[in-house]
Amino acid sequence: MKNIEVNVKETLAAVTGEQIQALAPEAANAMKMLADGSGLGSDFLGWVNLPSEITDAHLSDIEAAAKNLRDNCDYVVAIGIGGSYLGAKAVIEGLSDSFAQLRPEGDARRCRVIFAGQNIGEDYLNELQDLLKGRKFGIIVISKSGTTTEPAIAFRLLKEQLESQLGKAEASKRIVAVTDAARGALRQLATEEGYKTFVIPDNVGGRFSVLTPVGLLPIAVAGFDIRALVDGARRMEAATAEGVEGNPAALYAMTRNALYRAGKKIEILVNFNPKLHFFAEWWKQLYGESEGKDGKGIYPSSVDFTTDLHSMGQWIQEGERTIFETVLSVETTAHKTVIPTDPANLDGLNFLAGKRVDEVNKMAELGTRLAHVDGGVPNIRITIPALTETYLGELIYFFEKACGISGYLLGVNPFNQPGVEAYKRNMFALLDKPGYEEASAVIKARL
């Protein structure tokens, strides 16, 4: 089996190999802190050995709950936000047929997982309720804290709808809660209502939780092989466990930090495969919440190429030279499509006749890389043999491990997110939440 590979050769006009390697002792120290829990945020290191610690029985339990939902529901709404949403969304989109949501019932490629609670869009929720009217649906409600406003609103609405469609007793068989072992409103509700529950371990933070039931349950409901996903993560756990030399996660972490120290403050995660759009969203949360603090941090952004070459391409080619790109390069496609010959050749495309669409895409990728490197954009390339469960599992763990190392290289606590609370405080004060009276008076005086 091939491996995911990291190539940093095309960064060497901006930083030297020696500058990257100079970070090796710091990276080794970061890895030690991740292994022995001697660094900042050590209460949240449960993800480090998570893949190898997942038991067969645990996977069987998740698969059984997924089967129950699949057997009884045409749609399953996964409710969650941030780390309780993006990992499942990324994997499902990465593996699904591009038109899975539009496939008719009975088509094996149809995806029955819908996401909610990741926004407070009134139209989104209203239209979702309208879609589910009279339909067989179920709910996976995911919240570690059990108190997050966005999923709580969505759950309140959909729970009421499900109960009015099925009655309370039947509805409770189609609701699964994924939450903290003991604390929080959702845990209490699940206990009172008798929902099937799964635990998010205390020591795994939201953005590192895709390989817990947070991600695995919706992914299994969507029909994908969670054992292969976990196997991939295990492979990468083993490949990145020890030593900096030959360790792809350490190489990526060292290179992006060397670039950051050389003034490259923005990292653009690039894909040439639209199925990876939400993988980039997951990656942005992982790195954004882990590193953007104490006035520091590489700003994580993303583009889908070639689509965004027609919108952001100009900026990347010639704008401020504070960026670097990390390209997710998928080697093979799942299907084969050949460009046909057209005798009239009015579009002048006969030079491509007989070539596969992916051959054109690969030349677009190569051409873009050369152009951007010529334009002063350092390029890290991550090669993924194919979009499969195993390789996505590898990629997830690769980025998690690299994120832990990178956060310590940056000198921050990669496992907290104190800044996320600021908007919540204001929102609650503006909405007159009990307990926020003083803050309400202060904020309203500003308006």
Residues in contact with ligand PA5 by CB under 6 A are 81-84, 143-145, 148, 151, 205-207, 289, 417
Answer yes or no: 424 catalytic: yes
Q: Which of 32, 67, 133, 424 is labelled catalytic? A: 424
**With respect to ligand PA5, which residue has the nearer C-beta, 301 or 333?**
301
**Cβ-based nearer residue to ligand PA5, 284 or 381:** 284
Nearest approach, Cβ of residue 48 and ligand PA5 (Å):
16
- Cβ closest to ligand PA5, residue 37 vs residue 288: 288
Residue 173 annotated to the active site:
no
Three-state SS string over the chain comes to CCCCEEECHHHCCCCCHHHHHCCHHHHHHHHHHHHHCCCCCHHHCCCCCHHHHCCHHHHHHHHHHHHHHHHHCCEEEEECCHHHCHHHHHHHHHHCCCCHHHCCCCCCCCCCEEEECCCCCHHHHHHHHHHHCCCCEEEEEEECCCCCHHHHHHHHHHHHHHHHHHCHHHHHHCEEEEECCCCCHHHHHHHHHCCEEEECCCCCCHHHCCCCHHHHHHHHHCCCCHHHHHHHHHHHHHHCCCCCCCCHHHHHHHHHHHHHHCCCCEEEEEECCHHHHHHHHHHHHHHHHHHCECCECCEEEEEECCHHHHCCHHHHHHCCCCEEEEEEEECCCCCCCECCCCCCCCCCCHHHCCCEHHHHHHHHHHHHHHHHHHCCCCEEEEEECCCCHHHHHHHHHHHHHHHHHHHHHHCCCCCCCHHHHHHHHHHHHHCCCCCCHHHHHHHHHCC
Question: Least Å distance between CB 208 and ligand PA5?
Answer: 8
Q: Is 289 assigned a catalytic role?
A: yes
CB of residue 143 vs ligand PA5: minimum separation in angstroms? 3
Nearer to ligand PA5, 94 or 117 (CB): 117
Q: Which is nearer to ligand PA5, 120 or 386 (CB)?
A: 120
- What is the smallest separation between the CB atom of 171 and ligand PA5, expressed in angstroms? 22
Point out the catalytic residue in the list 10, 93, 150, 289. Answer: 289
Distance in Å, CB of 138 to ligand PA5, minimum: 19
| Least CB distance to ligand PA5 at residue 185 (A) | 11
Pick 248 or 407: Cβ nearer ligand PA5:
407
Q: Give me the active site residues, please.
A: 289, 310, 424
